[in-house]
A and B are shown apart, each in its own frame.
Chain A
Amino acid sequence: MTDTADLLRPHAEQAFAHELAALAAADDRPRPPAWHLSPWAVVTYLLGGALADGTVISPKYVGPRRLVEVAVATLATDRALLLLGVPGTAKTWVSEHLAAAVCGRSTLVVQGTSGTGEDAIRYGWNYARLLAEGPTQAAVVPSPVMTAMREASIARVEELTRIPSDVQDALITILSEKSLPVPELGTEVQAAKGFNVIATANDRDRGVNELSSALRRRFNTVVLPLPATAAEEIDIVTRRVAQLGKALELPPVPAAAEEIARVVTVFRELRSGRTEDGRTAVKSPSGTMSTAEAISVVTNGLALAAHFGDGVLRSSDVAAGILGAVVKDPSSDTVAWTEYLEAVVRERRDWADFYRACREVTA
């Protein structure tokens, strides 16, 4: 086995192998067929907790408990699970950890792109063999889904809505019949008990292919929400910005708590369509205004401040970034942004420098 310490990014089951082992040892509840842990233990693995033997399980997902319970219960009923949400809500992260906890293997992944073909979901051919021997079992190149069906594992499909619709629909037979026919050989692969699919998709991005209702019907849907409170979100942004700053080796810039709080407030207000004090309603722009974008606005601002500014994160460093994040559609988003600037930002006395900086880049 590879030493995980040398890896750039170890898989969930590698990074948390000791937690999974401790849970498996402590877990005496009934397990669904082929599951490595009981549903209770899977929920504990994701949300964190302490075991009787003193092992501390770190929380992998910070968010409502009920969502994780619904997700695990769905997998236990052999229905496929669809994790839905705007970018930056930890869909992929949750899917990876669910797969690692349920079947000990998170690597059977189909990455959805607009170029994903049917052979990524069903099977492909080893053409050298195909030409040499004709269609034989040995010439079939199984997809991750086919492998998961054979080996009673969880297959993950990332960014399902980026996959062209006709290719998406290849999943229908797999999910309803739990079998994958190989007509060239006159055989089929039938799913072993324990096989299931976790798909992730986001509903706000552009260039998505809506799921057909036939496919949609075969999924239970869990929507992962954005951070619930401003404090929580500021915390996430601050932490990620610090990590990214280190990774990108930006010169250290003094803690810019106030500016970060301001960026997060702007993002939250525009996203929710309401000011934090609840007194004024604002238009939401067409962009997602996700936490991930807030992080990149602040990181950009830090880079600007470090390389071109005076080393302190100022309103002018983040203003352009915010404008870019808000105005995705030049006509309607400009309206929303102008309205927000004039009706909300301008009224806040201690935001005067921010207002000026924004006016400058807007005009």
Chain B
Amino acid sequence: MTDLSPVPSATAAAPRVEVMGVRHHGPGSARAVARALDELEPDVVLVEGPADCDHLIEFLTGARLTPPVALLAAVADDPGTSAFWPFASFSPEWQALRWATERGVPARFIDLPAGVTLAARPAAVVPVEDEDDEQDDGPTSPAGVRHDPIAALAAAGGYDDPERWWEDVVESRTEHPTPFSSITAAMVELRAAAPELDAHEARREAHMRQQVRAALKAGHQRVAVVCGAWHAPALSGKLPPATGDAKLLAGMPRKKVTLTWVPWTASRLARAAGYGAGITSPGWYEHLFTTQDDVIASWLVQVGAALRDKDLPVSSAHVIEAVRLADALATVRGRHVAGLAEVTEATRAVLCDGDDSLVQHVTAQLVVGERLGEVAADVPTVPLDADLRATAKRLRLAFSAAPKALDLDLRRDTDLVRSRLLHRLTLLGIGWGDLDAARSRSTGTFREAWTLLWRPELSVAVVEAAQWGTTVQSAATARCIERAATGDLSELTALLEVALLADLPAAASPLLTRVDEQAAHDGDIARLMAALPPLVRAHRYSDVRGTSTAELARVTDSLVVRICAGLPAAVTGIDDDAATVMRGHVDATHAAVRLRADDDGTRTWHATLRALADRPDISGALTGRATRLLLDAGELDVADVRARVGVHLSYGTPARAQAAWVDGFLAGGGLLLAHDRALLAVVDDWVATLPAAAFTDVLPMLRRTFGAMPPAERRNVGDAARALTTGTITGAGAAPPGTVLDPDLVAGPVRTVALLLGARL
């Protein structure tokens, strides 16, 4: 039974403080800590971590937290300023906390409170864990040594995997049952050579010392301290007088913070920047932590299984050869045990036939891992939730369990902000608002019709989304960028449109980079053409919404260039059905190019269309369409077009091809024929002189062409054609000669036309 009596008795032996300098997230350290705790049986466990999070330690009991999880601290009135402290099952700190909570031994965090840390660093996001980790330039740079001194020792010993060094050098060569005294001794040397601590660092260590003193004062007899190896010397041995530390700590600014646990993922542990813990191989560490014997062989067996899931023929013989190569490689490199580097090389050379993409698959699935943390529902709310509630309140949106229609007028500021919020939430998978596409379209582009409905399970979605950020905006941006990493071109452009609707300028740039990349590697012109209209629309929107457009314009224009370069090849050798589909794309692209209204792009596009129109070897649907588009754009003059119609409808072309050409030429507007008699005459003559068999052959196609015209248009064309055959020369829709006009009936239309033309009667 541990002695928890608050007053030390005079006869008790001197209290014992055991400082365990660990490697953050080091499985070797974690195992050593667990062993050392079993041996020491401490009556209090002190862990490096924000001191104001003590009350969150109780959540480790039961199965309420499943690592990886992170402590999250966010400034109460500004949730965007936040910090995360991730824990994996193989983190020594996590093992120490688990050890204490399982046995009912008190455990405390001893680092500076998160409120102080966040007040000291007003930057929007404090990178994790040890706040002292400026981006290190390698394990042996001064910052790197401070951040991960054990990796620095390992690197000095020729190891690039610090955990294997720990295994090889620390675990197998120390006589002492625990390695911590030797680690502390090594750190004393390292610290002697390192530059002076900065003020923040000094305060952190002062705070930790004060907490150790407090624990002793409370009468604890066996105190275990788990902290980063770098700090071990500062907490070991006889502590200096408390007054110096008290002076250092006096008067520190402090902010009110909300604290909670959030679920974490292995891939976020692996990320070196932002919220990550900078461990590149959480999966490998997990394996090292859970596996004692045959580490290499059992790992490569897993790799083999992962590759087999990808339908690659990997046999046991392969795995055996990979193990042999890893060992031989370690020998060549003068190491006693193979590490991740050797294992990865063996995987590449033996199991993946040198193919890097397969190695990356293994890396993503095993080395990093796909583990997801879990946090039970009774853990306090997350800042994202607080931000959402605050924003909703500000925008006067109520969380109602009954559906509520919401019509937004985007010209009004409040409504615009509301629309952005709802778009962001949709992006985050929090389906509070449902955009009614049909109603929105019918009411014009500045209106959006939403239906709001808050379902209880959305609270869970909020907690899940909390991993992306602490405010709705930052989370939506992060999510958007994450999704961009995998999507194909059409998804990307759609996402880009959403990002603009949701006003996420920070996501736009990475998205555009991805669009550009995909566009370059996508050989399918149809997909490129499908991607263009949303981009051009986005360019239009962003004008209205005031986001930067230069980058967007650049990507859009380069997409036009790509389409123009690829289209001539893409239409070669396709059949009529494919040509009809392609015709739709050409139409959409044409419209988009016109909307974009960039001189260079328009010129290039017109040149491409002209090349299409001139080609005898492709489907008439396309040449006809290109001719028509050029005519409408004023690129071809009427005489030229008449000649082209004549050529295409002349004797040398098969009837079906002629009909396809007419279909392409006339699609989407036949009034042209009613206005241009000469053109009509050519078409009319063609129909009239078709041989009987050919006429039957093309009749369905002609019927479709003319059937697609609106009735009034069809009537006009019919009238004009009748006038042609009767030899009457009149304007389209003009009254036949001899008609008597009723002045009363005519007066109204004449006035209207005059008004439209601005003429005076």
- List residues of A whose CB falls within 8 A of some B CB: 39-40, 43, 66, 69-70, 72-74, 76-77, 79, 82, 84, 213, 216-217, 220-223, 273-274, 279-283, 331-332, 334-335, 338-339, 342-343
Contacts and interface: CB of A to CB of B under 8 A. Distances in A.
Nearest to B573: A331
Contacts of A43: 332
A335 B562 CA distance: 8
A283 B559 CA distance: 12
B168 interface: no
Given A66-B341, A222-B349, A273-B521, A73 B516 contact: no
Contact of A335 (B354, B521, B566): B566
Contacts of A331: 569, 572
B569 A73 contact: no
Nearest to A79: B321
B349 A40 contact: no
Interface stretch (B93-101, B322-330, B665-673): B322-330
B389 to A, nearest CB: 41
B565 A338 contact: yes
B520 A281 contact: yes
A169 B491 CA distance: 46
Contact of B313 (A213, A332, A342): A213
B274 interface: no
B520 A72 contact: no
A280 B341 CA distance: 33
B507 to A, nearest CB: 18
4 nearest A-B residue pairs (beta carbon):
A281-B520, A221-B354, A73-B328, A223-B354
A343 B523 contact: no
A220 B520 contact: no
A338 B604 CA distance: 12
Nearest to B569: A331
Contact of B332 (A69, A342, A343): A69
Contact of A66 (B321, B345, B562): B345
Given A40-B332, A70-B325, A73-B325, A332 B569 contact: yes
Contacts of A216: 353
Contacts of A72: 332
Interface string B510-551: 000100111111010000000000000000000000000000
Given A73-B331, A74-B328, A217-B315, 15 more contacts: A39-B328, A40-B334, A66-B345, A70-B346, A77-B321, A79-B321, A217-B313, A217-B317, A222-B349, A222-B354, A273-B521, A274-B520, A283-B523, A339-B562, A342-B604
A221 B558 contact: no
A273 B517 CA distance: 9
A178 to B, nearest CB: 15
A79 B322 CA distance: 10
B599 to A, nearest CB: 14
Contacts of A343: 558, 561-562
A110 to B, nearest CB: 21
Interface string B340-356: 01000110111011101
B572 to A, nearest CB: 7
A217 B329 CA distance: 19
Q: Is the interface of B mostly helix, strand, loop or mixed?
A: helix
B353 A221 contact: yes
15 contacts: A43-B332, A70-B348, A76-B331, A76-B332, A79-B321, A79-B324, A216-B353, A217-B317, A221-B352, A273-B521, A280-B520, A281-B517, A332-B523, A335-B569, A339-B562
Contacts of B350: 79, 220-221
Contacts of B353: 216, 221
A77 B324 contact: yes
B447 interface: no
B336 interface: no
A77 B562 CA distance: 50
B349 A221 contact: yes
A282 B520 contact: yes
A84 B356 CA distance: 12
Given A273-B520, A281-B521, A73 B341 contact: no
A249 to B, nearest CB: 40
A181 B523 CA distance: 50
Nearest to A334: B569
A339 B565 contact: yes
B349 A70 contact: yes
Interface of B: 313, 315, 317-318, 321, 324-325, 328-329, 331-334, 341, 345-346, 348-350, 352-354, 356, 513, 516-521, 523, 558, 561-562, 564-566, 569, 572, 604
The residue in B328, B521, B562, B566 that gathers the most chain A C-beta atoms within 10 A of its C-beta is: B328
Contacts of A334: 569
A77 B322 CA distance: 10
A217 B322 CA distance: 11
A76 B349 contact: no
Contacts of B354: 82, 84, 221-223
Nearest to B333: A69
Contacts of A82: 354
B334 A77 contact: no
A69 B325 CA distance: 11
Contacts of A283: 520-521, 523
Nearest to B324: A77
Nearest to B341: A66
A84 B349 CA distance: 11
The residue in B315, B341, B353 that gathers the most chain A C-beta atoms within 10 A of its C-beta is: B353
B321 A280 contact: no
Nearest to A67: B345
Contacts of A40: 332, 334
A70 B329 contact: yes
B329 A73 contact: yes
A48 B333 CA distance: 16
A220 B325 contact: yes
Contacts of B346: 70
A172 to B, nearest CB: 14
B338 to A, nearest CB: 10
Nearest to A72: B332
A342 B558 CA distance: 9
A339 B350 CA distance: 39
A74 B327 CA distance: 10
Nearest to B334: A40
Nearest to B315: A217
B332 A280 contact: no
Contacts of A39: 328, 331-332
A77 B329 CA distance: 9
The residue in A76, A213, A216, A222 that gathers the most chain B C-beta atoms within 10 A of its C-beta is: A76
Contacts of B564: 342
B558 A280 contact: yes
Contacts of A222: 349, 354
Nearest to B318: A217
A69 B329 contact: yes
The residue in B324, B334, B520, B569 that gathers the most chain A C-beta atoms within 10 A of its C-beta is: B520
A221 B355 CA distance: 9
B561 A339 contact: yes
A77 B328 contact: yes
Nearest to B328: A73
A76 B333 CA distance: 13
Contacts of A69: 329, 332-333, 345
Contacts of A223: 354, 356
Contacts of A273: 520-521
A270 to B, nearest CB: 11
A291 B578 CA distance: 40
A74 B566 CA distance: 45
Contacts of B345: 66, 69-70
A218 to B, nearest CB: 9
A334 B570 CA distance: 12
Given A40-B334, A343-B558, A74 B325 contact: yes
The residue in B321, B332, B558 that gathers the most chain A C-beta atoms within 10 A of its C-beta is: B332
B349 A74 contact: yes
Nearest to B321: A79
A331 B315 CA distance: 42
